C-alpha cells in the first residue's frame, strides 16, 4: 500500500509535468479507458528534423496511477525520436513507475504510453507493436 | 394483500457465520465486503446443495430414463417451482431459466422486440438503467426502426414520472430496473406498469438488483416480463431467470435454437416445444439452477422484508457516517427511499484511488461506471465509488469504510 502511493507517484500526480495543451501540435491523440473513465490527450511537437520530440504535453483526468505515469512519460520521451518511442518497451515506463500493479491498474499506468504511440503512428506512420494488442480494451480513438 | 407485521430485526452477525468467505483475512485484516450489488457471497447452505447435487444426483435433465436423470430433472424442475413461488408467478411454465438476467432481457428484446416493433413505435427505458436493460433495447430499436427514448431522472436520482406523457407517442415497451444498481433508487414499477398498459405498451422489469433485496410479486407489480439472476442473490453465477406472461410468451418466436426446445425436427422444418422449454435450448446450467433454488430458499427463510428493512437502515447509517467525513458527494435518493447502496465521490480523488486505498484496509467497494454510463453522464462524472450491502453486512464494516475514507483523504487529498 505504502508502495503503491509512494512519494514519487504522489508528487507526479499532484504536480504533473508537461500538463497542458500544444495548439497546432504535429501529432496528437486521445485515449479513454472505459473501465474507469480515465482520459488522456497527448500533444507532440517535433524539432526541425521532424523526428525528434521537442515538446510534449498531456491533458485529461483520471486516477493517480494514470496521471502520474503519463507525467513520468512526458519527462522520459522528450528529446527522443518518434521511431525510438514506437519501440519503447512498456517495461521502461513501468520500471520508472516502480510499483507492483494488478492487471486493472496496469491499464491505467499504460494508458498514456498507448496514446502517445497512437499519436506518433498517426503522424509518422510508426508501427504500433503487437504487444499493444493486449490493451485492446483501451478505446484508443 | 395481507398487512405484514414489522419484520423481526435481522441478525447479520449470526447469518455471517453461514458464509465461509468471511473466515479469511485480506491484507491481514478481516474482509469488509461492500460490493454485494456487483455480486453476493454464497452461504454454506447453497454450496452444500451444489456439492450434494454433483455428488449424488447429477446427470443431464429431461429425456433420460435412468434414475440419475430423473433425480436431476426433479431437482431442476424443483428449482423452477421455487422461482415461481419466489416471484409469485401464476404458473411455473412462465418461468424460464437463462444464463443471466442479461440473457433474460435479451430474450425479450430479440424474441418479442424483433416481431413486435417497427417504425413509428417507441421503446422507453430509464436514465437509471444498467447497460443490460439499455443496450439490448437500443440495439433492437435500431434494428426495427423504432424510436429509443429515455425517461429522465431528477437530481435525487428518481424517475421523473411527470415527463412520461410527453414520451408516450407510439410507446410499445417500457423497461426499467426495479432497484438501481448504481444509486439504490427503488423505482415505482407498479405505477410505470399501469402507465405502460394504459398506452398499450408492455412492461419489462430488470429485477437483478431488486429481487435479492426486496419482495418481488409479479402479479402485484403488474409487469409483463421480469428478469433476475442467481449470483446477486446468494446463488451460483451462470444462471438467471425470466418470468413472462404466458399469453405473451406463447406466440413469441424462440431465442436460442438447438436441442430440447423443439417439438419435431424434419429436413423441411422444425416446430417448437412447449413453454418453458421452447426458450431453454441446449444443456442449461443444471447444477447452478438447483443452487439458485437453494439460494432463493435461503433468502426467503431470512425474510425479504427483514432484508429490505435492514439494508435501508444500513444505507441511512452509511449516508450519515460518510457525510461526517467532509468533502464527499453522495448520489441518489434519501435513505428512506433507497436500497442498501451508496454511491459517492471524494472531492478531487479518482474512485480507483479511493478503492485501492480502501482495499489495503480490507474494505472491498466498487469504483467505476457500474455499467451505467448514461447515468454517469447525467450525474456529470466519469465514475463513482459504490458501497453496497446485504444480509451479512455489519455496521462495523461501514465504520471501517469511513475510517478508510479518512486515510484516502490523508494520502491523496
Angle of helix A64-77 relative to helix A90-97, nearest 10 degrees, comes to 120
N residues, chain B:
413
Length of chain A: 141
Residue B249, all three cell numbers: 410468451
CB proximity list for B370: less than 8 A, separation 6 or greater: B37, B130, B181, B182, B343, B376, B384, B386
pLDDT band at B8 (very low <50, low <70, confident <90, very high): low
What grid cell was written down for B156? Answer: 435525487
Quote the pLDDT of residue A132.
58
Rounded to whole angstroms, how far apart are CA atoms B256 and B111? 9
E strands in chain A: 27-33, 38-46, 53-61
Q: What is the mean pLDDT of residues B42-69?
A: 95
Average pLDDT, chain A: 87
| Residue B374 falls in which region: left (phi positive, over 0), alpha (psi -120 to 50) or beta | alpha
* B-proximal residues of A, 10-29, CB under 8 Å: 10, 13
Over the stretch B316-359, which tens digit does the pLDDT of each residue have?
999 999 999 999 999 999 998 999 999 999 999 999 999 999 99
Q: For residue B353, give the chain A residue with the closest CA.
A: A63
Chain A residues within an 8 Å CB radius of B346: none
Query: In this predicted structure, what is the pLDDT of residue A135?
Result: 46
- pLDDT tens for each residue of B211-250: 999 999 999 999 999 999 999 999 999 999 999 999 999 9
- Output A100 or B176, whichever has higher pLDDT: B176
Contacts of A5 in chain B (CB under 8 A): 353, 357, 411-412
User: How confident is the model over A23-54, as pLDDT tens digits?
Assistant: 999 999 988 887 777 889 999 999 999 999 99
User: How far apart are the C-alpha atoms of A114 and A94, rounded to whole Å?
Assistant: 13
Chain A residues 112-141 with a CB less than 8 Å from chain B: none
Would you state the pLDDT for residue A141? 41
- What local confidence, expressed as pLDDT, does residue A61 receive? 86
Within 8 A by CB and 6+ apart from B250, the residues are B275
pLDDT attached to residue A2: 56
Please give the Cα distance from A49 to A37 (Å, whole number). 36
What's the rounded Cα separation, in Å, for the pair B102 and B131?
9
Q: What is the pLDDT of residues B97-154, one digit of tens each?
A: 999 999 999 999 999 999 999 999 999 999 999 999 999 999 999 999 999 999 999 9
Cβ atoms of residues B377 and B323 within 8 Å: no
> What was the pLDDT predicted at B4?
46
Instruction: Tell me the backbone φ, ψ of residue B368, rounded to 5 degrees.
Output: 155, -155
The ipTM, to two decimals, is 0.82
Say which residue the cell 504522489 belongs to: A10
pLDDT for A5 = 83
Across all residues in chain B, what is the average pLDDT? 95
Q: Band of the pLDDT at A129, cuts 50, 70, 90?
A: low
Task: State mean pLDDT over B48-60.
Answer: 97
HEC secondary structure over B280-294:
CCCCCCHHHHHHHHH
Phi-psi region of A6 (alpha: psi -120 to 50; beta: other; left: phi over 0): beta
Who's near B352: CB < 8 A, 6+ residues apart?
A36, A38, A62, A63, A64, A65, A105, A108, B367, B368, B383
Provide the pLDDT confidence category of residue B5 given band limits of 50, 70 and 90. very low
Instruction: Please give the pLDDT value at position A130.
Output: 63
Q: Which of B222, B277, B228 is closest to B250 using CA atoms?
A: B277
Band (A102; pLDDT cuts 50, 70, 90): confident
Q: For residue B12, name the pLDDT band (cuts at 50, 70, 90).
A: very high
B371 in catalytic set: yes
Residue with cell 490493451: A135
Amino acid at each position: 500500500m505504502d508502495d503503491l502511493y509512494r512519494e514519487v507517484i504522489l508528487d507526479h500526480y499532484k504536480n504533473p509535468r508537461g500538463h497542458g495543451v500544444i495548439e497546432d501540435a504535429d501529432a496528437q491523440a486521445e485515449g479513454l479507458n472505459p473501465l474507469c473513465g480515465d482520459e488522456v490527450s497527448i500533444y507532440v511537437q517535433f524539432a526541425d528534423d521532424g523526428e525528434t520530440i521537442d515538446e510534449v504535453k498531456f491533458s485529461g483526468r483520471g486516477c493517480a496511477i494514470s496521471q502520474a505515469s503519463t507525467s513520468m512519460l512526458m519527462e522520459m520521451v522528450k528529446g527522443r525520436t518518434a521511431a525510438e518511442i514506437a519501440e519503447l518497451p512498456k517495461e521502461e515506463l513501468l520500471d520508472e513507475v516502480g510499483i507492483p500493479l494488478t492487471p486493472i491498474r496496469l491499464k491505467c499506468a499504460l494508458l498514456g504510453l498507448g496514446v502517445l504511440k497512437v499519436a506518433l503512428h498517426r503522424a509518422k506512420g510508426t508501427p504500433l507493436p503487437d504487444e499493444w494488442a493486449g490493451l485492446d480494451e483501451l478505446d484508443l480513438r | 394483500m395481507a398487512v405484514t407485521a414489522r419484520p423481526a430485526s435481522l441478525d447479520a452477525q449470526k447469518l455471517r457465520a453461514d458464509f465461509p468467505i468471511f473466515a479469511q483475512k485480506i491484507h491481514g485484516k478481516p474482509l469488509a465486503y461492500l460490493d454485494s450489488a456487483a455480486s453476493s457471497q454464497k452461504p454454506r447452505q447453497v454450496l452444500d446443495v451444489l456439492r450434494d447435487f454433483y455428488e449424488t444426483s447429477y446427470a443431464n435433465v429431461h429425456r433420460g430414463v435412468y434414475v440419475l436423470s430423473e433425480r436431476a430433472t426433479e431437482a431442476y424442475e424443483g428449482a423452477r417451482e421455487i422461482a415461481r413461488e419466489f416471484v409469485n408467478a401464476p404458473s411455473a411454465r412462465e418461468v424460464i431459466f437463462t444464463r443471466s438476467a442479461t440473457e433474460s432481457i435479451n430474450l425479450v428484446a430479440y424474441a418479442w422486440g424483433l416481431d413486435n416493433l417497427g417504425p413509428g413505435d417507441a421503446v422507453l427505458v430509464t436514465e437509471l438503467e444498467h447497460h443490460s436493460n439499455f443496450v439490448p433495447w437500443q440495439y433492437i430499436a435500431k434494428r426495427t426502426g423504432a424510436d429509443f427514448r429515455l425517461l429522465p431522472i431528477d437530481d435525487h436520482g428518481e424517475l421523473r414520472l411527470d415527463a412520461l406523457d410527453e414520451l408516450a407517442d407510439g410507446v410499445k415497451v417500457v423497461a426499467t430496473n426495479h432497484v438501481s444498481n448504481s444509486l439504490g433508487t427503488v423505482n415505482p414499477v407498479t405505477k410505470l406498469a399501469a402507465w405502460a398498459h394504459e398506452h398499450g405498451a408492455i412492461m419489462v422489469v430488470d429485477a437483478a438488483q431488486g429481487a435479492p433485496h426486496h419482495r418481488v410479486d409479479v402479479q402485484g407489480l403488474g409487469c409483463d416480463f421480469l428478469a433476475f439472476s442467481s449470483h446477486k442473490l446468494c446463488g451460483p453465477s451462470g444462471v438467471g431467470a425470466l418470468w413472462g406472461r404466458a399469453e405473451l410468451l406463447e406466440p413469441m418466436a424462440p431465442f436460442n435454437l438447438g436441442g430440447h426446445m423443439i417439438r419435431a425436427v424434419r429436413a423441411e422444418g422444425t416446430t417448437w416445444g412447449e413453454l418453458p422449454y421452447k426458450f431453454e435450448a441446449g444443456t442449461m446450467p443444471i447444477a447452478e439452477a438447483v443452487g439458485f433454488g437453494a439460494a432463493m430458499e435461503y433468502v426467503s427463510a431470512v425474510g425479504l422484508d427483514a432484508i429490505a428493512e435492514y439494508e435501508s437502515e444500513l444505507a441511512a447509517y452509511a449516508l450519515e457516517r460518510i457525510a461526517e467525513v467532509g468533502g464527499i458527494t453522495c448520489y441518489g435518493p434519501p435513505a428512506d427511499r433507497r436500497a442498501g447502496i451508496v454511491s459517492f465521490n471524494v472531492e478531487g480523488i479518482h474512485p480507483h484511488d479511493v478503492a485501492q486505498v480502501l482495499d489495503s484496509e480490507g474494505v472491498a467497494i466498487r469504483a467505476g461506471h457500474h455499467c451505467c454510463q448514461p447515468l454517469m453522464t447525467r450525474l456529470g462524472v466519469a465514475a463513482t465509488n459504490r458501497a453496497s450491502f446485504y444480509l451479512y453486512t455489519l455496521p462495523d464494516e461501514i465504520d471501517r469504510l469511513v475510517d478508510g475514507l479518512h486515510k484516502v483523504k490523508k494520502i491523496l487529498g
